[in-house]
Chain A
Amino acid sequence: MFRETVSLSGSFVAVDTLSVEAQLVERAKAQDEAAFEQIMSLYADRLYNYILRMVGNATDAEDLVQETFLRAYQGLPNFDGRASLGTWLYRIAANLCIDHQRRRARRVPTVSYSAHDDEDGEATEWDFPDQQTPNPLDAALNRELEAVVEEAIGKLSPKLKTVLLLYDVEELSYEEIARVLGIPIGTVKSRLNHARTQIQKAVAAYLSDAPVPTRAPSAK
């Protein structure tokens, strides 16, 4: 996740951003505000993307990203570099999101999405996709399916949602997520499977209602 590829004279060179980040952290610790701004520019979009889906609205997300950076700034003297900068920032953001969800849950009761919903009994035929031809489901990955997935993500419990977003959207590894959330890797995998299965059920319901494609559409 924290490795980036940059273009240099037409060729792609892998740059280890960890050492760059370590230097930025040291400078920021020494009250170099420009260094902290660079840290913000590196992580603002990633954190906002994660937090927005965690809390579900832009106003709260913006406020929480600001709060994440503010807490990081205040906590810099205590950052010892044992975790990577990204892991540390995601940890602050995850904790803020969970606190935010708890506060909101006290105000507005939310509908939980059961992990043991009954299977859809409808016997809808769905041709198994041939690996040699374009998957007809590629065509279904449109705005409608995206909306179904976003809605299903919004219904996940915070614990499942945070693991799903960190792995499938933010592309952190199991180990990084375990460090961010302070849970064992086995728990990360288990929560990820539960979360995906819940999304899958929403998608399956959507697919069973959608018209079945008779022929694979041509790839665009």
Chain B
Amino acid sequence: MNCKRFEQQIWAYLEGQLPSAQAQAFEAHLQACPRCQRQWAAAQATYRALRALPRHRAPENLAVQVRHRMAQPSARPRVDWARVWRRVALAPALGLLTVAVWWGWQAQQPNAPINTAAEDPTESLVELHEQLEVADWSPSPTPSYFISTGYTR
């Protein structure tokens, strides 16, 4: 352990929050390092002083003063309607949002029949074959065609 690590762990050690292996390394460093011994002494003093600070008592007339202020008409308890409205409106707003998201997702999906056909290669081949059969093939020019039309080069 180095001094930087020691300083990082000093408060955790003081509160007994270090795992035993780390606590042992901490103690070993503490025994060996005079600089960290001074840090440790200051940390201990700080910790104890903070917890031994005197507690200040509220003034005796505090309750009287607060009562006096509570008696003012403007001090009456009031419902925070904005806060209530936020809560009341939250549920339907979430519902609407859910419906909107679902609708948007559905709208982006391709039509089901096309999708099904695309997923079945056999069926799509049959369809292609049928389309080829009914296609409007123009008749190939035959010799009689050329004779009847008087076509010559």
Residue positions of A touching B, CB distance < 8 A = 29, 31, 33, 36-37, 40-41, 44-45, 47-49, 52, 62, 65-66, 69-70, 73-78, 124-129, 135, 137-138, 140-141, 145-146, 148-150, 164, 168-169, 192-193, 196-197, 199-201, 203-204, 207-208
- Check A52/B49 contact, CB under 8 A, given A200-B43, A203-B42: no
B107 contacts partner chain A, Cβ-Cβ < 8 Å: no
CA distance A43 to B84 in the complex (A): 27
Q: Are A41 and B30 in contact (CB under 8 A)?
A: no
Interface residues of B in 108-133 (CB under 8 A from A): none
Q: Please, could you name 23 A-B residue pairs with CB atoms under 8 Å apart, sorted by A?
A: A44-B58, A48-B57, A48-B59, A52-B56, A62-B58, A66-B69, A70-B69, A74-B77, A124-B38, A126-B38, A129-B44, A140-B45, A141-B49, A145-B45, A168-B47, A168-B50, A196-B50, A200-B42, A200-B46, A201-B42, A203-B46, A203-B49, A207-B41
B88 contacts partner chain A, Cβ-Cβ < 8 Å: no
A-B Cβ contacts below 8 A, count: 134
Inter-chain pairs besides A44-B62, A78-B80, A193-B8, 10 sampled, C-beta below 8 Å = A36-B70, A48-B62, A49-B57, A65-B62, A66-B69, A70-B75, A73-B66, A193-B11, A200-B42, A203-B46
- Check A49/B49 contact, CB under 8 A, given A41-B63, A44-B63, A76-B77: no
* Residues of chain A contacted by B48 (CB below 8 angstroms): 137-138, 141
CA distance A66 to B59 in the complex (A): 11
Q: Are B66 and A70 in contact (CB under 8 A)?
A: yes
- Closest chain-A Cβ to B84's Cβ sits at a distance in Å of 8
- Check A62/B46 contact, CB under 8 A, given A52-B56, A74-B75, A77-B78: no
* Residues of chain A contacted by B63 (CB below 8 angstroms): 37, 40-41, 44
Top 6 nearest A-B pairs (CB, nearest first) are A204-B42, A48-B58, A44-B58, A168-B50, A128-B37, A149-B49
* Residues of chain B contacted by A69 (CB below 8 angstroms): 66
CA distance A49 to B57 in the complex (A): 7
Could you mark each residue 24-60 of chain B with 1 if its beta carbon is under 8 Å from any beta carbon of chain A, else 0? 0000001100100111111111111111111111110
B134 contacts partner chain A, Cβ-Cβ < 8 Å: no
CA distance A129 to B39 in the complex (A): 12
Q: Are A192 and B11 in contact (CB under 8 A)?
A: yes
- State which of B8, B40, B49 has its C-beta within 8 Å of the C-beta of A145: B49
Q: Which of B46, B55, B69, B79 has the most CB of A within 10 A?
A: B46
Interface residues of B in 77-122 (CB under 8 A from A): 77-80, 83-84
* Residues of chain A contacted by B8 (CB below 8 angstroms): 193
Q: Are B40 and A77 in contact (CB under 8 A)?
A: no
B149 contacts partner chain A, Cβ-Cβ < 8 Å: no
* Residues of chain B contacted by A192 (CB below 8 angstroms): 11
CA distance A204 to B46 in the complex (A): 9
* Residues of chain A contacted by B84 (CB below 8 angstroms): 78
- Check A204/B77 contact, CB under 8 A, given A70-B69, A169-B53: no
